[in-house]
Amino acid sequence: MALTAVTLIAISILCTSRVQSIGVNWGTSASHPLPPSRVVELLKLNKISKVKLSDSNPQVLEALSGSTIDVTVGIPNSMLRTLNSSVKSAESWVHDNLTRYLSTHTRIEYIAIGDEPFLQRYGSQFYPYVVGAAINIEAALIRAKLSKNVKVVIPCSFDAFGSESGHPSTGHFRPDINKTMIEVLGFLTKTRSPFFVNISPFLSYYQNKNISLDFALFKETARPHNDTRRLYKNALELSYDTLFTALTVAGFPNIDIVISQIGWPTDGAPNATASNADIFTKGLLDYFHKRKGSPLRPRVMPLEIYIYTLLDEDQRNITAGNFERHWGLFTFDGQAKYQVDFGQSTKRMVNARSVEYFASRWCVVNNNINMSNATARAMEACTNADCTALSPGSSCFNLSWPGNVSYAFNSYYQQHDQRADSCDFGGLGMITTVDPSVGNCRFNVELKASFSVSLRGSKFDYPLIALVLTVWWLLDR
Ligand SMILES: *[C@@H]1O[C@H](CO)[C@@H](O)[C@H](O)[C@H]1NC(C)=O
Ligand SMILES: *[C@@H]1O[C@H](CO)[C@@H](O)[C@H](O)[C@H]1NC(C)=O
Ligand SMILES: *[C@@H]1O[C@H](CO)[C@@H](O)[C@H](O)[C@H]1NC(C)=O
Ligand SMILES: *[C@@H]1O[C@H](CO)[C@@H](O)[C@H](O)[C@H]1NC(C)=O
Ligand SMILES: *[C@@H]1O[C@H](CO)[C@@H](O)[C@H](O)[C@H]1NC(C)=O
Ligand SMILES: *[C@@H]1O[C@H](CO)[C@@H](O)[C@H](O)[C@H]1NC(C)=O
Ligand SMILES: *[C@@H]1O[C@H](CO)[C@@H](O)[C@H](O)[C@H]1NC(C)=O
Ligand SMILES: *[C@@H]1O[C@H](CO)[C@@H](O)[C@H](O)[C@H]1NC(C)=O
Ligand SMILES: *[C@@H]1O[C@H](CO)[C@@H](O)[C@H](O)[C@H]1NC(C)=O
Ligand SMILES: *[C@@H]1O[C@H](CO)[C@@H](O)[C@H](O)[C@H]1NC(C)=O
Ligand SMILES: *[C@@H]1O[C@H](CO)[C@@H](O)[C@H](O)[C@H]1NC(C)=O
């Protein structure tokens, strides 16, 4: 009897710790983001108990206050230089962006210094400031007596380490950041913080043709990679051991690892589909729950993993690829793309509630008039609008001309709050109440959002537009 009780308690502890170590990344680079309170509700409904934010957006942190969700706040790369320059600036950052939310019971667990500052594509511009910024933030936390509860971490990108011919036993950090990485690891060891690393089987597959889709998707049937008699069955194990070797060579084999971003996009590239993302995510959670570890470190698991990402974001930078706007477990409006078992009682994903949309109206091309300018107009619309679903292999790639022109016009129209003048296009645009969506290709209607902070850093400068309109109105009188 007592034994059964003990077993039950043990099982329930195991189960809770299992569920709690999986989180999600929540970004707000969207033209019309779901309101933060709705997102927090979505997290709760789906039993997601950890989030990692890319910044310290006040509305997001306020929405999280009083919840039992553990939070990682991010410091943008653009602030690293200032934060390296003085402890004072770090103290004001902690005061403004941390202390007041902690006092409203937001459970802030980690501060991430920079958003992948070592990403190869950024060059060396952030290297000199990263460790200095981390040291200053840590000093500010100690002064504010917060260093026991809040840890400082430094997210490392998937391209910061590599190997010879894909053999994990030859893993090493990229030579240009090797020295900085050793300082980073020294700092983390001293403060007993884990190593945050992004791992991307999708990008390994997308960029390196030597990894098969099956190997990236955890399929049993994938051909294993053989590295000095160790057999690797999936791309995650391979990356994980490559990283482990790099850490060992650098002199830090025992540091705890947190996988801070891992996921699979559902549009914007061939094989970026919801069915592959479904297979990948199930494979990932299964791998994590089995706790088998990797060939070099059997039974040693990452402390936590953060799935990338919660929601699609239509304003994300697409330099790396059109898939960048389609990593969400949920669409931009909080509808699940596939099923993930986070421990919901129904084992099914719950969609966002009380989502408010603009009216059921779309902007399409009027094909009763001369359309010789339509392609040029669509291209123009696409410099602002989100046309990533039109790219090869994507959900709307099969739309033939002029369907793709309509897609571009509609995206622009929705991003501009369905204002009539944003469906003009030199007389080529026409508003319709008939949904032009076909098959998997969805013509979105945007969210009625009044979440202004997210527009910071996006292309739409509403105060400026308002000023221009006011001046125009005054002159017109
Ligand atoms: C970072 O801050 C330190 C301490 O203030 C300073 O000595 C160093 O020059 C700064 N680094 C850069 C690259 O500005
Ligand atoms: C708080 O963080 C935001 C960016 O996340 C930044 O713009 C602001 O300057 C920060 N406050 C201070 C005092 O550094
Ligand atoms: C590609 O993968 C195979 C299988 O593991 C390996 O033998 C080969 O060395 C790899 N080639 C390159 C160029 O990475
Ligand atoms: C990185 O630094 C470590 C420790 O100083 C050294 O052993 C290793 O060879 C270096 N690796 C590279 C690629 O420079
Ligand atoms: C892996 O490679 C080693 C040689 O490095 C070889 O002895 C072994 O048989 C290979 N294992 C498999 C399963 O291919
Ligand atoms: C998807 O991946 C498979 C297997 O790697 C490949 O054969 C196929 O060409 C890819 N799909 C597209 C549309 O490129
Ligand atoms: C996207 O990122 C690249 C650098 O990675 C930058 O050069 C470019 O200006 C960014 N684009 C936008 C629209 O912010
Ligand atoms: C459409 O307009 C173009 C000039 O913009 C003209 O060259 C073409 O003849 C017109 N087509 C028709 C069918 O009117
Ligand atoms: C196409 O655009 C050009 C330049 O904006 C304009 O002069 C022309 O009248 C347009 N043609 C049609 C048919 O709308
Ligand atoms: C596009 O059409 C081709 C041929 O009909 C079909 O094989 C393919 O699956 C379609 N692609 C998408 C993304 O719907
Ligand atoms: C639409 O399709 C036409 C013909 O395939 C192509 O020339 C044009 O660039 C496409 N437009 C967009 C916005 O994708």
Return the closest-CA partner of residue 230 out of 160, 171, 302. 171
pLDDT at 18 over 50: no
End-to-end CA distance of the chain: 87
For CA atoms 97, 57, 69, 40, give the dihedral sign: positive
pLDDT at 11 over 50: no
Ligand at shortest distance from the CA of 85: 1
| 138 is an active site residue | no
| CA distances for 205 relative to 119, 165, 168, 414, 438, angstroms | 17, 14, 16, 34, 29
- Predicted local confidence at residue 450, as pLDDT: 58
CA 125 – ligand 7 centroid, Å: 14
pLDDT at 471 over 90: no
Tell me if residue 434 falls in helix, strand or coil: coil
Using a 6 Å cutoff on CB, does residue 372 contact ligand 8?
A: yes
CA 72 – ligand 1 centroid, Å: 26
Using a 6 Å cutoff on CB, does residue 172 contact ligand 4?
A: yes
Tokens of 87: 């402890």
CB atoms within 10 A of CB 194: 17
Using a 6 Å cutoff on CB, does residue 328 contact ligand 3?
A: no
Placement of tokens 């706790």 in the chain? 291
Atom of ligand 4 nearest to the CA of 249: 7
Tokens of 424: 């003009």
Ligand 7 binding residues, C-beta < 6 A: 121, 317, 319
Placement of tokens 């990229």 in the chain? 174
Percent of the chain with pLDDT over 90: 84
Tokens of 292: 């088998």
- The protein residue whose alpha carbon is closest to atom 9 in ligand 11 is 375
Q: What is the pLDDT of residues 106-137, one digit of tens each?
A: 899 999 999 999 999 999 999 999 999 999 99
Lowest-pLDDT choice from 99-103, 227-231, 304-308, 391-395? 99-103
The model's confidence at residue 209, banded by pLDDT at 50, 70 and 90, is confident
**Assigned CATH class of 5-325:** alpha beta
Placement of tokens 């089987």 in the chain? 201
Using a 6 Å cutoff on CB, does residue 165 contact ligand 3?
A: yes
Read off the pLDDT of each residue in 173-194 and give the average, rounded to a whole number.
97
pLDDT at 25 over 70: yes
What is the pLDDT of the chain when averaged over all its residues? Answer: 90
- Predicted local confidence at residue 13, as pLDDT: 41
- The protein residue whose alpha carbon is closest to atom 8 in ligand 9 is 373
Distance CA 262, CA 158 (A): 10
DSSP string, 104-151: TT-EEEEEEESSSTT-GGGTTTTHHHHHHHHHHHHHHHHHTT-TTT-E
Tokens of 327: 């990593």
Percent of the chain with pLDDT over 70: 90
pLDDT at 474 over 70: no
Tokens of 1: 């009897």
CB 257 within 8 A of CB 199: no
**What is the domain partition of the chain in residue ranges?**
5-325, 362-475
